[in-house]
Amino acid sequence: MSRSGSGETAARVNALREKFAKAYGHRPEGIWRAPGRVNLIGEHTDYNLGYVLPFAIDKNALVAVRRKSQLDPGSQVLDFASTYGAGGELPITSITVDELVPRAVPGWAAYPAAVLWALNQLDGVRIGGLELMVDSDVPVGSGLSSSHALEVATIVALDDLYGLQLTKVQMAQLTQRAENEFVGAPTGIMDQSASLMSQAQHALFLDCRSMETQAVPLPLAQHNAVVLVIDTRVEHSHVDGGYAARRANCEQAAAALGVESLREVHSIAELEAIADPVARRRAKHIVTENRRVLDAVAALRASDLGAVGKLLCQSHESMRDDYEISSEELDAAVEAAMAGGARMTGGGFGGSAIALVKRERIEPVSQAVREAFDHAGYVEPAIFTVIADEGAGRA
């Protein structure tokens, strides 16, 4: 039975066990689950050591694993398979432990391989041959962090199987290292923290400098409201330019101000000292976004969903105009779904938007978005509600 309690996840767990047995000839030792996330507010603030407020969603990656040491003690062969996009026969990608070299593993297997590599960098840890199979229903490249769901499911599995007893903060840092150094995507600490540390029906308020967390109740049921995700189906990629360029802009702004990170800046008046107008605008987003996260936490605690909605809209404007990470499709989604507040979520340059919507308005709001997309000639978006689920664990 899945810990998330979802019947759908339980059925996927059983199906994955069968597929694993078919592909590898025996059952896995266990199956672990790690959710994707939406970020309610606090975008690109993580690598500026600021605040974020994501929550884990009821879409997750499942990873089934078996150590080869049981049947073949010396084996250094790592076998990876994923049900994603595969037909009947699941192709298996095999590499050896020696081939765990940063940037050298092509394709999707780089993500689980990255986690193995990061763990093997630790003193006293030596992960040898294993068989792994992934089944994920987190949409890929939609800004809901399918990559971290995969990495987090892998690290909780290995932590459990090898008795590593890593803390959640250590696992978050290791998966960040995996994605930054091995895969080569310069992402921050938010996504994996959300996947590891979230609690059901709560958002995760994370201070990315201290790594302290607070679970903030989401008063959605009281307001008969839901979080609607609008996946524009315009895939983004963080391995290429835009994300890294924003990071560089922020570092440049911090250097101009003589601070270690933009977290240390509290008012936009201080930003006048940044000569470069682009760096100044980027910094303005970070400084105002940190403030909006704190305001959103206070509004949630006061059960003032109207105030949260306004902050979402302000956040979107800031990302569109100052940080310049939105897209035509994301702007259209936010405009059409404005309802109780909406914003793009995740790294940007494509991906998904979220909207706070009253239950009875789900259909009309979805219809308005679909019509706006149709009118503009965009690809039909995928629109669905999400539930704030609990963080990763054994399935």
Positions touching ligand ADP (CB under 6 A) are: 82, 84, 108, 111, 134, 136, 140-147, 150, 237-238, 346
Q: How far is the CB of 198 from ligand ADP (least distance, A)?
A: 16
Of the ranges 146-154, 227-235, 315-323, 383-391, which one interacts with Mg ion (CB under 5 A)?
146-154
Smallest separation, CB 103 to ligand ADP (Å): 14
Mention every residue, 6+ apart, whose C-beta is less than 8 A from residue 150: 34, 61, 63, 108, 111, 112, 134, 136
Q: What tokens were used for 366?
A: 């979805």
CB closer to Mg ion, 147 vs 352: 147
Residue 140 touches which member of ligand ADP, Mg ion, none, C-beta under 5-8 Å by kind? ligand ADP
Which of Mg ion, ligand ADP, none interacts with 150 (beta carbon under 5 to 8 A by kind)?
ligand ADP
Angle value at C-alpha 61, between 1 and 112, nearest 5 degrees:
125
Question: Which residues are tagged catalytic?
Answer: 191
DSSP code string of 335-351: HHT-TT-EEEESS-SSS
Minimum distance from residue 328 beta carbon to ligand ADP (Å): 19
CB atoms within 10 A of CB 18: 10
The answer for residues whose C-beta is within 8 angstroms of residue 159's C-beta and 6 or more apart is 165, 166, 171
Residue 324, CA distances (Å) to 93, 246, 253, 352, 373 in order: 38, 9, 16, 15, 21
68 binds, among ligand ADP, Mg ion, none (CB under 5 to 8 A by kind): none
Strand, coil or helix: 263: helix
Please identify, using beta-carbon distances, which residue of 145 and 315 lies nearer to ligand ADP.
Answer: 145
Q: How far apart are CA 333 and CA 172, in angstroms?
A: 31
* CA 18 to chain centroid: 28
User: For Mg ion, which residue of 83, 147, 193, 318 counts as binding (CB under 5 A)?
Assistant: 147
Give min distance, CB of 273 to ligand ADP, in A.
34
Which residue is it, tokens 């250097």? 255
Q: Give the amino acid at 27.
A: R
- Interaction partner, residue 136 (Mg ion, ligand ADP, none; CB < 5-8 Å by kind): ligand ADP
Q: Which is nearer to Mg ion, 36 or 309 (CB)?
A: 36
Minimum gap (Å) between residue 257 Cβ and ligand ADP = 30
Binding-site ranges for Mg ion (CB under 5 A) = 145, 147
